[in-house]
Amino acid sequence: MDGGGGNAVVTGEAAHISGEKIGAARYNAEMTDEARNDYSNLIYLCGDHHTQVDKQEADFTTSHLLQMKADHEQRVRGAMMEAFAGVGFSELEEATRWIVQSEPSSSSYDFSLIPPEDKIRRNELGSGARMVITQGLSLAREVHSFIEAVTQTEEDFPERLKAGFLEEYYRLKKDGYGGEDLFDLMCRFAQRGFEEQAKRSAGLAVLVYLFETCEVFEK
């Protein structure tokens, strides 16, 4: 969460649907260790709800938690599709206006592409990040056209855009964040406190574009 005055803090926890160890809630002895730690057996909860589902095992069965997870992901996909549909040049301009404060790096930017699935795996991202990336890629052409248009009058705009995101990325890496937590915090950074959903989605679209073009996150 972000209290408004300090750095964002991840408060969610990846909870096991079928318990990770013997004696844990909903433990399934037939599962392999790999299966227990696979995304399909994980559900993201706040700390209080994590405790609740483990303490009240009779109320939160494996099938119940799997259905809760599926219903939530379906709602998120629908909301994201609707939100990204409202993004245009004006929202992208607003979402990147802060970039004038960033200093461009000395290195040239690299638009070589690596298949998104490879980058998702190399950055240890799960299904939540994959969902954002998949939806964000639908606006890749729009973001590219926007960057090209701005570059006509501001030649260093692509470098300043990259520099702004990389500064936050390396700050979070230095603080020990990685994988899904790092991606989640970068998504919050990209949205930069916007209240309008179209502007929030525009920020995410820019982040996903930089992810695809290998400007931010590991190649």
The model's pLDDT over 97-134, given as tens digits with 9 standing for 90+, comes to 876 555 544 444 344 445 677 888 888 887 778 888 88
State the Cα–Cα distance between residues 5 and 13, nearest whole angstrom: 23
Would you say residue 41 lies in a domain? yes
Do 96 and 198 lie in one domain? The reply is: yes
Structural domain includes residue 68: no
Residues 50 and 84 in one domain: no
Give burial (CB, 10 Å; 0-12/13-18/19+) of 30.
exposed
Tens of each residue's pLDDT in the chain, 219 residues = 444 444 544 456 778 899 988 999 999 999 998 888 887 888 878 778 888 888 898 888 999 998 888 887 677 666 655 666 667 678 888 888 876 555 544 444 344 445 677 888 888 887 778 888 888 888 888 899 999 998 998 888 888 888 889 888 999 999 998 888 888 888 888 888 788 888 888 899 899 988 888 778 876
One domain, residues 114 and 157: yes
- State whether 24 and 85 are in the same domain: no
Tell me whether residue 56 is in a domain. Answer: yes
* Residue 140 in domain: yes
- Indicate whether 126 and 185 sit together in one domain: yes
**Residues 54-63: pLDDT tens digits?**
889 888 899 9
- Is residue 40 helix, strand or coil? helix
116 inside domain = yes
Same domain, 87 and 43: no
Same domain, 191 and 93: yes
Judge whether 147 lies within some domain. Answer: yes
> Which of these, 28, 29, 53, lies nearest to 43 by C-alpha position?
53
d(CA 122, CA 114): 11
- Residues 6+ away with beta carbon under 8 Å from 209: 136, 139, 140, 143, 144, 147
One domain for residues 198 and 147: yes
In the beta sheet, which residues pair with residue 46?
12
Number of domains making up the chain: 2
Residue 4 within any structural domain of the chain: no
pLDDT at site 43: 83
Q: What is the pLDDT of residue 5?
A: 43
Its pTM stands at 0.60
Judge if 41 and 89 occupy the same domain: no
Range of the domain at 117: 77-212
For residues 44 and 81, state if they share a domain: no
Same domain flag for 37 and 111:
no
217: in domain: no
Say what the pLDDT of residue 79 is.
Answer: 62
Looking at the fold, whether 84 and 182 belong to one and the same domain comes out as yes
